[in-house]
């Protein structure tokens, strides 16, 4: 049986993949392979199949279009303006992923010309995809202030200056170095390594790694992870 006198809609899934290369944030885009807007820059998107859950569809679409697999995808929200797709009525569910670009670079295929774009140099995107990206960034900024989710963007070993650069890049601002370091170390999430990174300076900076057990416990709790007074003047 089916519900009578009801209009059928298509359901799409779009994946917003943010990456960090150690210096700046980037967004993974593809060239759309079919009309409308063929060969224009797009998020990774496709339609939900009858036998799939949203999460299954997001994982399938991401693998088909980019080659990426086994990465964490978080459901964000639905986008449902009646005219968002010029072809027909399509409701889209957006998913967000955070990845270390260098870790996954070899996994990405070129079938759909997947390419990383710096966040400050994004091309014009199809449909409402720019709105999706802007919404995802705002949600990420809010969540990252209270949860250590940005560590998904980092390699296994990293320095405190690299960590600070990553947070400053998200909020488009500068943090006080001593205040930031004190706040981060107080979370007890980091383990200090013996070796140093010496490419950036003669003195070098110690590497740190994430305490995985502590991270698993902390990711579910709310805390003031970074100095909120430092992000009050954040500008887009």
Residue 8 burial class via C-beta count within 10 angstroms: exposed 0-12, middle 13-18, buried 19 and up:
exposed
Instruction: Please indicate, yes or no, if residue 20 is contained in any of the structural domains.
Output: yes
Instruction: Please indicate, yes or no, if residue 150 is contained in any of the structural domains.
Output: no
Instruction: Please indicate, yes or no, if residue 214 is contained in any of the structural domains.
Output: yes
> Which of 117, 144, 171 is the C-terminal boundary of a domain?
144
User: How far is it, in rounded angstroms, from Cα 43 to Cα 59?
Assistant: 14
Helix axis angle for 160-171 and 129-144, nearest 10°, is: 130
133 and 164 in a single domain? The answer is no
> Which of 144, 169, 204 is the C-terminal boundary of a domain?
144
* Rg of the Cα atoms in the chain: 20
Say if CB 114 and CB 41 are below 8 A apart.
no
- State the residue range of the domain holding 168: 156-231
Instruction: Please indicate, yes or no, if residue 236 is contained in any of the structural domains.
Output: no
- Return per-residue pLDDT of the chain as tens, 236 residues: 889 999 999 999 999 999 999 889 999 999 998 889 999 999 999 999 999 999 999 999 999 999 999 898 999 999 999 999 999 999 999 999 999 998 888 889 888 889 999 999 999 999 999 999 999 999 999 998 888 889 889 999 999 999 999 999 999 999 999 999 998 898 889 999 999 987 776 678 999 999 988 877 776 665 566 655 555 445 45
Q: Which residue, chain included where needed, has tokens 């968002």?
A: 84
CATH number at residue 225: 1.10.10.10
Confidence at residue 232, expressed as pLDDT on a 0 to 100 scale: 46
83 and 197 in a single domain? The answer is no
Tell how strand 90-100 and strand 41-42 pair up: unpaired
Say if CB 174 and CB 180 are below 8 A apart.
no
162 and 139 in a single domain? The answer is no
């Amino acid at each position: 049986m089916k519900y009578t006198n009801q209009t059928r809609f298509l359901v799409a899934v779009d994946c917003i993949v943010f990456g960090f290369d150690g210096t700046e944030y980037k967004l993974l885009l593809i060239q759309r392979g079919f009309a409308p807007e063929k060969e224009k820059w797009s998020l990774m998107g496709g339609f939900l199949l009858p036998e799939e859950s949203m999460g299954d569809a997001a994982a399938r679409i991401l693998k088909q279009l980019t080659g990426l697999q086994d990465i964490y995808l978080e459901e964000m929200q639905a986008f449902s303006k009646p005219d968002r797709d010029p072809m027909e009525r399509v409701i889209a569910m957006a998913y967000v992923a955070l990845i270390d670009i260098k870790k996954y670079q070899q996994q990405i295929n070129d079938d759909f010309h997947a390419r990383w774009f710096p966040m400050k140099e994004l091309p014009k995107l199809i449909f409402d995809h720019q709105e999706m990206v802007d919404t995802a960034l705002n949600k990420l900024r809010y969540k990252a202030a209270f949860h250590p989710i940005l560590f998904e963007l980092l390699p296994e070993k990293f320095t405190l200056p690299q960590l600070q650069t990553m947070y400053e890049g998200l909020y488009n601002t500068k943090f006080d170095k001593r205040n930031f370091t004190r706040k981060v170390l107080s979370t007890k999430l980091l383990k200090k390594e013996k070796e140093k990174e010496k490419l950036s300076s003669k003195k070098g900076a110690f590497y740190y790694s994430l305490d995985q057990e502590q991270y698993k416990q902390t990711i579910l709790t709310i805390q003031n992870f970074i100095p909120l007074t430092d992000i009050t003047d954040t500008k887009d």
